[in-house]
Amino acid sequence: MCGRFTQSFPSPEFLAQQFRLDDWPRELMQRYNLAPTQHVFAIVDREFLDGRVRRQLLFMKWGLVPFWAKGPAIGSMMINARAETLLEKPAFKRLVARQRCVIPADSFYEWQRPKEPLRIHLDERPAFGFAGLYDHWHAPNGDTWTSCTIITCAPNDFMAAIHRRMPVILDSAAVELWLDPTITESEVVTAVLRPTTDPMRAYRVHPEVGNVRNDTIEWSMEYHPS
């Protein structure tokens, strides 16, 4: 699974360049310990009535709340979606065609043992994108919630020594395909949902990264217990 990650990019402009964004906030808070039910930023390609497609950075709640949900609590149970069963699950199947997103990240966390969290990077990419799906839920008070889920797959060789699942990390070509709103064939888009082959590295971080309140850079630095 993917239960914690970071969006600690040096600047909004860096992110815009990495993902060829058309629209983005001019200020973004660096986040070193993002947790389920918190807001994350995600990328979508939106097709407008005049036929233009613009790549936008939007804020979404992490934990998918389907449009048909009776309430938002279900989101805490839908932070991840398994790539192998996307087309079998009612909450995800209809989103695959037209409501795909990319969640940018620069690392993610996984626990080898209860008190040994690891921070995991790609060796050659300072920013990368998780494959995701999103939906809109209309609250009784009239508010609209936009929420997302991160898709996971079987681990590559590196991650297999750490965990039995990993987030789907898209390469540049896969990002373009996954976001393209003109591609709606399920068999085409789901073909990119596979383990990354990029070189990866991991290092141990402080056990207190497990506390969601610890969201500053010192908790994500390499930790050497005495």
Q: What distance in Å separates the CA atoms of residue 49 and residue 52, rounded to the nearest whole number?
A: 7
Catalytic residue among 2, 101, 148, 153: 2
> Letter for the amino acid at 140?
P
Catalytic residue among 101, 110, 148, 153: 110
The answer to whether residue 13 is catalytic is no
Cβ–Cβ contacts within 10 Å for residue 12, how many?
16
The answer to whether residue 208 is catalytic is no
Question: Active-site residue numbers?
Answer: 2, 110
